[in-house]
Chain A
Amino acid sequence: MRYVDEFRDGRLGQAVAGEILTTVDPARHYKVMEICGGHTHSIYKYGIDDLLPANVELVHGPGCPVCVIPMGRVDDGIAVARTDGVIFACFGDMLRVPGSERTLLDAKAQGADVRMVYSPLDALRIARENPDREVVFFAIGFETTAPSTALTLKRAKAERLTNFSCFCNHVTIVEPLEALLGSPEVTLDGFVGPGHVCTVIGTRPFEFIPARHGRPVVISGFEPLDILQSILMLVAQLRDGRCEVENQYTRVVPRDGNARALEVMAEVFEPRPVFEWRGLGFIPHSALALSDAYREFDAEARFDVPGVRVSDPTECQCGDVLKGAIKPWECRVFGTACTPEHAIGTCMVSPEGACAAYYNYGRLARAREIV
């Protein structure tokens, strides 16, 4: 594909990396947060860290929708999955997230009918094909993914399906960033913004970051060149004393997002007054529930879920990692008690999680240029 090839061109990458080197102030240390799990993944997959000067530090943020789901909610999902007759559909990454006693994968090994899907529309298809079974879709994701759940529920309603429901754990991106920016332990110079969330909500919702917190934001695409260009644009803003939201991903992101997607979301969802985020605590208005018109499809209404709040294990420091306060290897259980094979926390389970990404990809002694 045209887009993809250009934006993975190594020579262009070298050129942009060179420009970053000449733009940074050698006496300054830059701490840039990339918010989106997809960016974390790309950075490690392409070894982008390797290409940056040593005084530019990338910090991973709370933009991994799997990582932020608290254990109690996972337990609820597992309880539904283990109900007789239920076909439980979820995205791949959710399968290995630990609840208080087991993962969905364990539940599957023990006999629950758990199926991986790539889209809620797949789950809807399963419901159509299995009219005698209850099909439940575990919905997660930010505003990028919420429209697909909303569309699916609209279709379910139009088709009058009675055997389909949704366990809704959609979260929104702005509120945790506000919480994070209000937290004293977090010192950041700028943000690499989530390109695909912005295709839905537009770039305006991020304007509070420069306006109220004095930090620049660059909305970035996901190819390695996108990310490097965005970092360049950020350090250039800092050098020039500018502070604004810039859009590096103009080839995809419209400034005002997708109005129809926002309409559909407004029809199907309503904001939850409060929602618990793993490691970040309770954040108001940060998540979505089904609206009254769609309550019939709410799995929490249809099934008995334990609804018990489970604290993270005491040794787990996912919260600090998700806030960017510590690096994965600074977590006291990283690599010892917590590994991808036996994960304690979600940051290690999801390949987009900072700990898993570092463990799987970044784990080598890097020879970096000292600026």
Chain B
Amino acid sequence: MSASESIAGGREQRVLQIIQTARAKRPRFRDERITLAHGAGGKATQTLIDGLLVPALCEPGSALAALGDAGALTIDGHRLAMTTDSFVVKPLRFPGGSIGSLAVNGTVNDLAVSGARPLALSVSLILEEGLESDVLRAEVEAIALAARSAGVEIVAGDTKVVERGAADGMYITTAGIGAIDPRADCSSGAITAGDRVLLSGPIGEHGTAIMLARNLFELDARIESDTRSLWPAVDALLDAAGAELHCMRDATRGGVASVLNELARAAGVGVTVVETAVPVAPTVAAAAELLGIDPMYLANEGRLVAFVAPDAAERALAALRSVAGCEEAALIGEVTPETPGMVLVQTGFGGRRVMDQLVGDPLPRIC
């Protein structure tokens, strides 16, 4: 290497180091106003959580500080998980689902990927003045149907009405309670170098379905949201891998890219994804290409990623594939000790690139 090349190399390395250090620090929340980016599940959301919510609401070592999809509580020796969620999806109905089914499945899934069997939900409705009763009826039925399918009971509820112009039809807030499964021992801290990354099915369906349902781009394609309960998939994984199932997340807003980035940061490890191993339906790929969006960043409502110890990976994958709806589950990557906190993609073409977290918002009000 020539002298000038090694100097250039050194300079580049120093700048990269500065970036890594800056990113490792706790972000400060300095924005003057809330923008849609804060709801996207990417960097702005992280900064809001890490910079404003956590310092204000969290004691170190508390359930909230773990920042999982659900908070763990022990009551009288019973290990429970609790989660809360709100649903502001627009439009209310879309191919494959509606705000009602999303609300139930989304809450159930936060519990499931935390290793908890979902037991009960509360459902709180905020209704816009002028909402057609038929619309409300349809959503209430959707909630009931989804709850029955998921095997959970709705044990509490509330209804509020706000003036025309607020709530855009309807918003739903939920809380969910589950029993932490004795087979489960999941946390981001359990993720270790060598772990394999499993994905339970094709990506980008919910995000694309919503985009098309908004009718903004004169784009037509037959794509349905993938909303469903992930408990059967989690159950199968726990059965096959037990304590070797180190961590799970459902890949909702921000997509697979976001959850992998969050976990890479939280666990202080690198993750490498093999691009050609990630299942994407051809229609989703075509629509995403037309819109210039990477499916890795699109929201899913019925897909999880699981970090599994290497010896358990094959049987965990087989178990996943035997669950209805997860037939296309795949092993998409692995955890590496190099490049901690970064997610890399081995491209189909042979080179590598970084897959960073979202900065903005490809599609607001996705769930």
Contacts and interface: CB of A to CB of B under 8 A. Distances in A.
Contacts of A45: 347, 353
Contacts of A225: 349
A92 B292 contact: yes
Q: Is the interface of A mostly helix, strand, loop or mixed?
A: helix
B354 A360 contact: yes
Interface in B4-50: 5, 8, 11-13, 15-16, 18-19, 22, 33-37, 43-44, 47
A173 to B, nearest CB: 21
Interface in A274-331: 327, 329-330
B349 A8 contact: yes
Given A118-B291, A363-B16, A10 B350 contact: yes
B350 A47 contact: yes
Nearest to B13: A365
A44 B11 contact: no
B342 A364 contact: yes
A46 B11 contact: no
Contacts of B322: none
A50 interface: yes
A362 B359 contact: no
Contacts of A363: 16, 19, 342, 354, 356
Contact of A364 (B1, B22, B44, B344): B344
A340 B359 contact: yes
A52 to B, nearest CB: 9
Contacts of B43: 340-341
B281 to A, nearest CB: 15
Interface in A323-371: 327, 329-330, 334-336, 339-341, 359-365, 370
B61 interface: no
A48 B349 contact: yes
A113 interface: no
Contact of B33 (A95, A109, A329): A109
Contacts of A330: 11
Contacts of B18: 335-336
A340 B358 CA distance: 10
Nearest to A227: B349
A329 B22 contact: no
Contacts of A39: none
B9 to A, nearest CB: 9
Interface string B55-84: 000000000000000000000000000000
A96 B5 CA distance: 35
A49 B353 CA distance: 10
B15 A49 contact: no
A334 to B, nearest CB: 6
Contacts of B359: 340-341
Contact of B350 (A13, A44, A106, A360): A13
A54 B1 CA distance: 9
A49 B351 contact: yes
B297 to A, nearest CB: 11
B352 interface: yes
Interface in A136-172: none
B15 A335 contact: yes
Interface centre among A330, A335, A359, A370 (most CB of B within 10 A): A335
B220 interface: no
Interface in A68-101: 92, 95-96
A364 B43 CA distance: 19
Given A45-B347, A122-B218, A334-B15, A360 B356 contact: yes
B356 A224 contact: no
A370 B2 CA distance: 10
B282 to A, nearest CB: 10
Interface in A1-29: 8-10, 13-14, 17, 29
A370 B5 CA distance: 11
A122 B217 contact: yes
Contacts of B11: 329-330
A51 interface: yes
B118 to A, nearest CB: 35
Contacts of A50: 350-352
Nearest to B362: A92
The 5 closest A-B pairs by CB, nearest first: A47-B351, A50-B351, A361-B353, A335-B19, A329-B15
Interface of B: 1-2, 5, 8, 11-13, 15-16, 18-19, 22, 33-37, 43-44, 47, 217-218, 291-292, 339, 342, 344-345, 347-354, 356, 359-360
11 contacts: A13-B350, A14-B350, A47-B347, A48-B349, A105-B360, A122-B217, A225-B349, A334-B15, A336-B22, A364-B344, A365-B16
Given A47-B353, A110-B33, 6 more contacts: A45-B347, A224-B351, A330-B11, A339-B19, A340-B356, A365-B13
